[in-house]
Amino acid sequence: MIALSLAEIAAVVGGDLRLAGSSTADTVVDGVVDTDSRNMVPGSVFVAKPGAETDGHRFVGSALAAGAALAIVEHAVDDEITQIIVPDVIVALADLAREVVARVRAAGDLRIVGITGSNGKTTTKNFLARILADEGETVAPINSYNNEVGAPVTMLRVTYDTRFLVSEFGADAPGSIARLAGLVEPDIAVVLMVGMAHAGGFGGIEATAKAKSELVAAARPEGTAVLNIDDSRVAAMGELARSRGMQVVSFGQSTAADVQAHDLEVTASGTSCIIEAAGQSLPLHLRVLGAHHIGNALAAIAAAGVLGVSASDAIARLETVEIAERWRMQPMGSDRVRIINDAYNASPDSMSAALRTLAQITGPGERTVAVLGAMSELGETAGEEHDRIGLLAVRLNIQRIVVVGPEARRLYISAIGEGSWDSEAIFFPDQDAAFDYLRTELRDGDRVLVKSSNSVGLRHLGDRLGELFS
């Protein structure tokens, strides 16, 4: 965080400053701001967030021991630490992020990119951050820091030397993206796709589309919307952007896209294609597995182009990226038994894309194995969407379908109903049982996909398999 006095911070968050030790109102703080006491270093600000399982106020002492200079709290704590008492620490965190970004923006040439979409946010964020890092200091979220805590914490990492802030915006309800993006008013709004991920929490896909459009509505009127022309709901957001005076740059595989890809070829070493941008035809070999990541690459190239980075430079930098993120199409194991651990998140769209990738990268004499868990937050559509994935796995001729956990049992039943038999589809109630089966079932030449929503935790099963067959 930029240097601010304790008095300035208290004024920004509208809190009651209570000094401790040798601190005065003029004492300057410029360290990390976080809700996790384990991330504290000398001079940090600890935000004591109450939670469903634990309360951050219990860890103020740990934060102080690690060097925290200030705690933002909702009630006074006994620890000998300077504290600012506020009604709501999450609101205070947002207020502080808004002020810090505004000061940096006013003092220099900070450009802000906001990214949202039902799938692909983190991958696109990582792609764009890699491209922009060679242009100047770039701040981007760690992992999937895209919620009411993660987004402001990321924003607070900017300094007066930062040239680019890449923010990822998730949503757990209508209005979430509007609130988070409204803190910084991005110069560029990137919308990737509207899918069934989290649709249960929004009341359907049209409500999901409206929620994603909040990013375009929150962007600067003189800014740019970077939109996926292949998704009709996203493409329709161009009308909203133009009504606000924004420029629109499209990406996709359509020949109408400003930045487009064609001649896709998917192999076990990645995906190749030809990129058309700014009148140039340029080859791209993306080492990240899966044709669906080409769309994320196109979005990153398009956004970087708005910021003045040539397509050729963007492509050269993208070709250095080996994995999108841990647990996202992450190759593990060995050439003998290749594990693809993609179990950080799962939606019907990403599950389908991962299964198709598994089928595409498996060669003659090799066997496809899909280890699948439940897709969360689908609401009333959960049953039919799990049915659809079971059918797809069979129709793609996935040779072993290993379903884990009671929430995914309907996927298993659907696969059986579609004609998977003779142990081609098998169900296990938990990860340990699945691991015991797979450790003896997997053989040389197997290509194994592990896929589920984050809450199911199959990523840990993927790690165990990756280590076993490394």
DSSP, collapsed to helix, strand or coil, labels residue 127 as helix
381 assigned binding-site residue: no
Q: What is the mean pLDDT of residues 52-74?
A: 93
d(CA 138, CA 130): 9
What is the predicted pLDDT for the residue at 390?
95
pLDDT tens-digit map of 24-35: 999 999 999 999
CA gyration radius for the chain?
Answer: 24
The pLDDT assigned to 66 comes to 95
Domains of the chain, each with CATH number or no CATH = 4-86 (3.40.1390.10), 108-318 (3.40.1190.10), 330-468 (3.90.190.20)
- Amino acid, single-letter form, for residue 190: V
Instruction: Read off the pLDDT of each residue in 134-149 and give the average, rounded to a whole number.
Output: 90
With pLDDT > 70 as the criterion, what percentage of the chain qualifies?
A: 98
pLDDT at 278: 93
pLDDT digits (tens, 9 = 90+) for 162-177: 999 999 998 878 899 9
Once rounded to an integer, what is the mean pLDDT over residues 412-418?
90
| pLDDT for 199 | 54
Split at pLDDT 50, 70, 90, the class of 323 is confident
pLDDT of 438 reads: 97
Closest CA to 1 of 43, 38, 37, 39: 43
121-133 and 311-318 helices cross at what angle (nearest 10)?
Answer: 110
Distant-in-sequence contacts of 432-440, Cβ < 8 A, 24+ apart: 434/371, 434/402, 434/404, 434/461, 435/461, 435/464, 435/465, 437/402, 438/369, 438/371, 438/402, 438/465, 439/465, 439/468
The whole-number pLDDT of residue 448 equals: 97
Q: Lowest mean pLDDT: which of 209-218, 358-367, 375-384, 454-463?
A: 375-384
The C-alpha angle with vertex 30 and arms to 29 and 33, in degrees rounded to 5, equals 95
Q: Which residues of 307-322 are buried (b: 16+ CB within 10 A; e: fewer)?
A: bebebebbbebbeebe
pLDDT exceeds 90 at position 429 = yes
CA distance 219 to 306: 14
Q: Are 338 and 446 in contact (CB under 8 A)?
A: yes
Q: pLDDT tens-digit profile of 127-136?
A: 999 999 999 9
DSSP 148: T
Percent of the chain as helix, strand, coil, to the nearest 5: 40, 20, 40
Task: Classify 45 as helix, strand or coil.
Answer: strand
pTM for the predicted model, two decimal places: 0.89
pLDDT mean across residues, the chain? 94
Nearest by Cα to 117 from 209, 36, 223? 209
118 annotated to a ligand binding site: yes
356: which residues sit within 8 A by CB, 6+ positions away?
291, 396
Q: Would you state the pLDDT for residue 142?
A: 86
Which of the four pLDDT bands, split at 50, 70 and 90, describes residue 202?
A: low
Run of H or E including 337: none
103-138: burial string, b at 16+ Cβ within 10 Å, e else: bbbeeeebbbbbbbbbbbbbbbbbbbbbbbeebeeb
pLDDT at 257: 98
- What's at 461, amino acid-wise? L
Quote the DSSP letter at residue 192: -
CA pair distance 210, 189, nearest whole angstrom: 14
Please state the length of the chain: 470
Q: Which of 322, 332, 32, 241 is nearest to 153 (CA)?
A: 32
Q: For the segment 282-308, what is each residue's pLDDT rounded down to a tens digit?
A: 999 999 998 999 999 999 999 999 999
Look up tokens 């996926």; give the residue: 228
pLDDT beyond 90 at 423: no
Quote the pLDDT of residue 144.
74
φ, ψ for residue 5, nearest 5 deg: -75, 160
Mean pLDDT of 434-461: 95
> Tell me, what's the pLDDT at 269?
87
Number of neighbours of residue 76 by Cβ within 10 angstroms: 12
What is the pLDDT at residue 203?
A: 64
* Residue 106, pLDDT score: 96
Q: From residue 6, give the alpha-carbon distance in Å to each of 13, 29, 261, 348.
A: 11, 7, 51, 48
Determine the pLDDT at residue 380.
85
The answer to whether 362 is a known ligand-binding residue is no
Percent of the chain with pLDDT over 90: 83
**Mean pLDDT throughout 342-359?**
92
Do the annotations mark residue 417 as ligand-binding?
A: no
Confidence of residue 377 (pLDDT cuts 50, 70, 90): confident
Instruction: Give dist(CA 89, CA 80) in Å, integer.
Output: 19
SS3 364: coil
Annotation-wise, does 121 bind a ligand? Answer: yes
pLDDT for 381 equals 87
